[in-house]
Copies of this chain bind each other. A is one copy, B any other.
Amino acid sequence: MSGSVRRAMPSIEIVAKEAGVSTATAGRALGGYGSVSRKSREAVQAAAERLGYRPNSLARSMITGLTHTLGVLVPDIENPFFSRALRGIADAAHERGWEVLLVNTDEDLALERKALGVLAERRVDGLVVAPTDVADRDALQAVVDAGIPIVLLDRRVPGLDADTVGIDNRAAAKDATERLLKLGHRSVALLTGGDEKLRPKLSRPGLRGVERLAATTVGARAAGYRDALVEAGVEPRPELVSAEGFRREDAAAATRRLLALPDAPTAILALDSLLALGVLQALRGLGMRCPADVSLVAFDDADWAEAISPPLSVVAQPIYELGAEAGRLLLDRVQGSDKRFTHRRLPTRFIERESAASR
């Protein structure tokens, strides 16, 4: 056993009594505000040290109106995209003396709504939200109206008073698709992971349709994919757009289905790295080789992308920077910035490795 066991933490009143001053003076000595004589300060600090005093930040927050806490709402922290982005957010927050309260929403609208309520009750100073695709604009706006600024990460919510940080999904997807087309591929599949409604929209979009499509992340990328095809004079084939689910097994199944098609795709664009793993797994199962039989390009430069055989060509997003920028933007708002809402697009980088070959 080391040191004495104390159950309840001492309050500033106890410290003041021990130091022989008033609570007001003790507060000033420890909090670094107001003015205190050297003698008082030293007496208080010694007493605090002796008693193992820790200020109660709850009481402080009640007075100051600041919790120095940022809420972070992500679909799933296990997803490498979000864990890396969270790291960026946390670092930005920490750097300026803020902490991070994390909630997973599981892409579940009801959970997201409930979490917003909980975080509002905790009086977080601001919120970084990666909303579900069908985000509840009103619930988010209500939080903003209550005085809690929001920064959206990765996805956008039309009409919401919030800053946004993300990439140009449409341009990035278009670029990736163009690269596959330039390699001679004419039958390029798109693995989106979700949003069943995409496929029909993609076939006969009309201008209005494409614009509406581009509102979600997946939608924007699908639109970019389509842009590239159309510009290259390749007719988009709805059956080449797969939206079976977000899990690896879903992607594997989708790949098997795609490759069984008449006039099967010779190249696949996967919208995230987990889906790419599914493709790889399916190819291995089918005895097909990448890139000899099928070329593959994926979004996100996962840590394994460079190490596997063949190394995967990817659209790299600056994920950490996305999170850090969101954190900084949010803290600016928290600290009183009332600039117009910005929609920041960070640049992506195509990393050419060996999984996409000419045909």
Q: Determine if A59 is an interface residue (Cβ-Cβ < 8 Å).
A: yes
Bound-state Cα–Cα, A121 to B8, Å: 13
Q: A69 — which chain B residues lie within 8 A by C-beta? A: 101
Q: A55 — which chain B residues lie within 8 A by C-beta? A: 121
> Total interface residues on A, using CB and 8 Å?
63
Which chain B residue lies CB-closest to A104? B90
Residue among A54, A278, A280 with max Cβ neighbours from chain B (10 Å): A54
Q: Determine if A134 is an interface residue (Cβ-Cβ < 8 Å).
A: no
| Residues B58 and A123 in contact, CB atoms below 8 Å apart | yes
Bound-state Cα–Cα, A6 to B306, Å: 51
Q: Determine if A260 is an interface residue (Cβ-Cβ < 8 Å).
A: no
Bound-state Cα–Cα, A148 to B25, Å: 28
Which chain B residue lies CB-closest to A320? B78
| Residues A83 and B90 in contact, CB atoms below 8 Å apart | no
| Residues A87 and B80 in contact, CB atoms below 8 Å apart | no
Q: A57 — which chain B residues lie within 8 A by C-beta? A: 121-123
Known contacts A62-B58, A83-B77; decide if A3 and B142 are in contact (CB<8 Å).
yes
Q: Determine if A103 is an interface residue (Cβ-Cβ < 8 Å).
A: yes
Residue among A61, A100, A102 with max Cβ neighbours from chain B (10 Å): A102
Q: A281 — which chain B residues lie within 8 A by C-beta? A: 306-307
Interface residues of A in 80-104 (CB under 8 A from B): 80, 83-84, 86-87, 90-91, 94, 99-104
Q: A3-B145, A284-B311, A302-B304 are in contact. List 12 more A-B contacts (CB 8 A).
A: A2-B138, A3-B141, A3-B142, A5-B145, A6-B145, A52-B142, A56-B121, A58-B61, A77-B90, A100-B101, A100-B103, A280-B307
User: Which 5 residue pairs spanning A and B have beta carbons closest together?
Assistant: A83-B83, A277-B307, A281-B307, A304-B304, A57-B121
